[in-house]
Amino acid sequence: QVQLVESGGGLVQTGGSLKLSCEVSGRTSSTVTVGWFRQAPGKERQFVAAFTWREQIPYYASIVAARFTISRDNARNTVYLQMHSLTPEDTAIYSCAASSGNFPRRPDEYDYWGQGTQVTVSS
């Protein structure tokens, strides 16, 4: 089992920034990738960014690549998602997830999920 706990969500104005955290614990030996997804009301869950656990290679959805940065604090087993230039279209519940696969982008490729954290961007 792998446990993931997100934090850092909140309300921010258009153009603002937020940094989300995802603390990873448990049987991380089987974890190959940790990713961030988001889901807005009435929409499907959407891939945002991910980070390979050992090689520490980041990759992004094209819609956020210029504004978001994913990183890892090895000492704290925490993956961060730094978000800049936020717009109302970024409003969603952001969840982190762990996968045993290589460079997964679909939700069904991830095995463990956190509870999510709400990000709201006001206009």
Q: Tell me the average pLDDT across 73-88.
A: 95
CA distances from 35 to 18, 56, 93, 106, 110 (A): 17, 12, 14, 10, 8
In 3-state terms, what secondary structure has residue 26? strand
Given pLDDT bands bounded at 50, 70 and 90, which one contains residue 71?
very high
Percentage of the chain modeled with pLDDT above 90 = 86
Residue type, 41: P
The mean pLDDT of the chain is 95
- Please give the Cα distance from 1 to 56 (Å, whole number): 21
Question: Above 90 in pLDDT, residue 30?
Answer: no
- Strands 18-26 and 78-83, by their bridges, are antiparallel
Q: What is the model's pLDDT at position 50?
A: 96
Given pLDDT bands bounded at 50, 70 and 90, which one contains residue 100?
very high
